[in-house]
Every structure is written in structure tokens, then in C-alpha cells.
């Protein structure tokens, strides 16, 4: 499995969030053009940021990009399934995320698929 994150692995990304969500548990990030919807245990928040910039901020965080539009925190995953050409993650908060062929490799290495 993946090594635990460095203590400040999410620090740069968290600075972009409102004070209410800056210390919340991060579940997932969903891309909408140049906006991101950040899903946390303190609710959702839209921020202006490209997915590629978020991925740079979260490079050392304990999570994976699972689809061109989704990143997920490892601690948020409840279960994972794979059916021939696509997959799905069920998160602990009840959300369901898609997993694409392109990004399944990281989940497979981590033992989820």
C-alpha cells in the first residue's frame, strides 16, 4: 500500500479553501472546467482552480486521481469495483465516483482493484 502522507502534503491545496473547510477531512475533488468542487466532511465548496494545479498541490497527498475529473483521498474509500472497462469507488460518505481505465493503475497498485 501507499506510504502515509507527509505532514504538510495537503497544506498548499488547503490554503485555497475557506476557513470552514481548511481543516476538514478531504474526501474528493471534482473538476468543472476551471473550477473544482471540493468535497469534505464540512460540506462542498467551489473554487477557481484547474485540475492540473490541484494535482500539483496534492502530489504528495495520500490519494489518487481516478478519472480525468476526479481525485479521491485514500482515507475516503469504502470499496472499489471494476467491470471490464470502467470502475467505481464507493466513499465512506456515500458518494460514488467513476474510475477510468487511464487512472486505474494507481488503485490497482494500492490494492483496491
- Diameter of the chain measured on Cα atoms: 42
CA atoms within 13 A on the CB side of 69: 9
**Average confidence (pLDDT) over 98-112:** 92
Residue 5 within any structural domain of the chain = no
Domain presence at residue 55:
yes
Residues constituting the chain:
113
Predicted pLDDT at 71: 97
Any domain includes 25: yes
Residue pLDDT, tens place only, 35-94:
999 999 999 999 999 999 999 999 989 899 999 999 999 999 999 999 988 899 999 999
**Do the domain assignments include residue 3?**
no
- The boundaries of the domain holding residue 76 are 11-109
Evaluate whether residue 23 is within a structural domain: yes
Q: What is the pLDDT of residues 77-97, one digit of tens each?
A: 999 999 988 899 999 999 999
Distance set, CA 61 to CA 17, 56, 81, 84, 92 (Å): 16, 10, 23, 28, 18
- Give the β-pairing of 86-91 and 77-83: antiparallel
In angstroms, how far is the first alpha carbon of the chain from the final one?
12
The model carries a pTM of: 0.90
CATH number at residue 18: 2.40.50.1020
Q: What's the number of domains the chain is made of?
A: 1
Amino acid at each position: 500500500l501507499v506510504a502515509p502522507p507527509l505532514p504538510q502534503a495537503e497544506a498548499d491545496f488547503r490554503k485555497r479553501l475557506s476557513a470552514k473547510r481548511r481543516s476538514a477531512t478531504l474526501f474528493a475533488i471534482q473538476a468543472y472546467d476551471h473550477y473544482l468542487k471540493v468535497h469534505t466532511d464540512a460540506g462542498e465548496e467551489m473554487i477557481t482552480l484547474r485540475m492540473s494545479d490541484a494535482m500539483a498541490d496534492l502530489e504528495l497527498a495520500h490519494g489518487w486521481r481516478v478519472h480525468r475529473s476526479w481525485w479521491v483521498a485514500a482515507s475516503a474509500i469504502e470499496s472499489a469495483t471494476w467491470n471490464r472497462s470502467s470502475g467505481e469507488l464507493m466513499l465512506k460518505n456515500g458518494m460514488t465516483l467513476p474510475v477510468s481505465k487511464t487512472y486505474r493503475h494507481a488503485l490497482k497498485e494500492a490494492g483496491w482493484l
